[in-house]
Amino acid sequence: MTNEELMENAKAATRFSYAPYSNFKVGAALLTEDGELYTGCNIENASYGATNCAERTAIFKAVSEGKKKITKIAVAAGDGSTAYPCGICLQVMQEFMPEGTILLEEHGIIVSYSLKELLPKGFTL
Ligand code: THU
C-alpha cells in the first residue's frame, strides 16, 4: 500500500470519530509487519481523561488481534489540519513500532517522520 493510500484510509477512519466534546475528529491507519491494515478513530468521553486517541485505537485493535509489529501509521485530522501524535500515543508507538514511520499531512503534503524523530528518548524497560 502506498503512503497516499494509507493516508486516505486514515481520513476515511475519521468518519467514525466520536468527538462531541472537542469536535476535533481524528483518524489513523496502520500497516503491520505482514501488511495487514488496521484503522481507528478518536473516542472521547464525558470524563475527558478516558478519551482514546485515533492512533491508540488503531494500535490496540491490531495488538488485540495478535499483530504486535507495526511498521507505519498515518494520522489525519478531519478538518485538514495536522494532527501531531500526543505524548501518550508516541509512548505506545515506542512499544509496538520502535523503528516505525509516522505519516502526517502538513499543508496538504504527506510528510514522513521516524518515531525516533518525534520521540528521541522514548521509555523502555
Ligand atoms: N487526538 C487524537 O485522536 N490524535 C492526535 O494525534 C491528537 C489528538 C484527539 C484526542 C481528542 O479526542 C481530540 O483529538 C482533541 O484533543
Q: Quick: pLDDT tens for 40-49.
A: 999 999 999 9
Pick the closest to residue 56 from 39, 80, 69 (CA basis). Answer: 39
pLDDT band of residue 60 (cuts 50, 70, 90) is: very high
Cα separation, 24 vs 68, whole angstroms: 28
Is the CB of residue 86 below 6 angstroms from any atom belonging to ligand 1?
yes
Closest ligand 1 atom number to CA of residue 51 = 12
pTM for this predicted structure: 0.97
Mean pLDDT estimate for the chain: 98
pLDDT band of residue 79 (cuts 50, 70, 90) is: very high
CA torsion, ordered 45, 106, 94, 114, to nearest 10 deg: 170
Residue with the smallest CA separation from ligand 1 atom 8 is 53
88's CB contacts (< 8 A; 6+ apart) are 53, 56
CA of 42 to the centre of ligand 1 (A): 6
pLDDT band of residue 125 (cuts 50, 70, 90) is: very high
Q: Nine-digit cell at 100?
A: 516505525
Identify any residues that bridge with 102 across adjacent strands, giving them in sequence order: 73, 113
69's CB contacts (< 8 A; 6+ apart) are 32, 33, 96, 97
pLDDT band of residue 107 (cuts 50, 70, 90) is: very high
Only one residue has cell 484503522, namely 39
Q: Could you list the active site residues?
A: 55
Rg (CA), the chain: 13
